[in-house]
Amino acid sequence: MVSKSKTGLFALSFFGVASLLITIAFVSPYWLVTDGKLKNPQFIKIGLWEVCFNGFEEPHHWYDTVFKSCWWIFEEEYYIIHDILLPGFFIATQFFFTISMCCVIISLFISYFYMKKDEDDDSYVTLLVTFGTILIIGGFSGIISVVTFGARGDGRDWMPDWEHNDLGWAFALGVVGVVFLLPAGILFLIEARVRKYKRLHEMQSREPSYSMRERKAAYPGHTDI
């Protein structure tokens, strides 16, 4: 592994924690959970891609259907309650958190090249800018997602027994994860700026010496006064 600056290592640490928390939140069905105070709650828990019911009856009464156990949220059997199960705010939550997750996945590949690439490489600054930009995009997308879910997720117009539903630990992990993406991205952009100006300074400091050499080569007998 090529040695990195403290700024780069701090940024990488933020990214490592963020990627772990976001991945757990992305796959976990504990974004909204029942508080356990009801003896037989109809709703148990829901995540971005899985929902668990316990005797939830189809509210339109178009079908004699009772939903039990945990299923993938896009399961065919759920099509009759998609208007309840997938309101606009929840689709927006899924969409923006998926963008954040995609940014994390892309950044994992970029982090490998970051660890391998030497700081003197011509493309190093470009890599840092790309890394930081993707992380900031993921952070802002994730914030939109968790703010949307936090504002509407435990409302009375969504899951049954709303007064006994609480935001879950997976949602909390998602909040922390997307927030951590922002300082990671900002630190990588700061590192890119530092490296850019350092390289410009080195180029400027070399120019006089090159000019002196060229003059001596052109006028071998010339002596500066």
- CATH number where 98 lies: 1.20.140.150
Residue 217 placed within a domain: no
Measure the CA–CA gap between 175 and 170, rounded to whole angstroms.
9
Measure the CA–CA gap between 128 and 125, rounded to whole angstroms.
5
Residue 220 placed within a domain: no
Residue 219 placed within a domain: no
Q: What is the pLDDT of residues 115-124, one digit of tens each?
A: 887 766 678 8
Q: What is the pLDDT of residues 130-153, one digit of tens each?
A: 999 999 999 999 999 999 999 998
Dihedral Cα 175, 147, 141, 194, nearest 10 deg: -60
Tokens of 111: 């982090």
Q: Quote the pTM value.
A: 0.83
Q: What residues does 107 pair with on adjacent strands?
A: none
Residue 39 placed within a domain: yes
Is residue 185 within 8 Å of residue 134, measured between CB atoms?
Answer: yes
* Number of domains the chain contains: 1
Alpha-carbon Rg for the chain, nearest whole angstrom, is 27
- Which residues does 96 contact at the CB level (< 8 Å), separation at least 6? 141, 142, 144, 145, 148
Q: 72: domain range? A: 6-208
Tell me which of 23-27, 205-209, 214-218 is least confident: 214-218
Measure the CA–CA gap between 16 and 185, rounded to whole angstroms.
12
Tokens of 128: 């840092």
DSSP 174: H
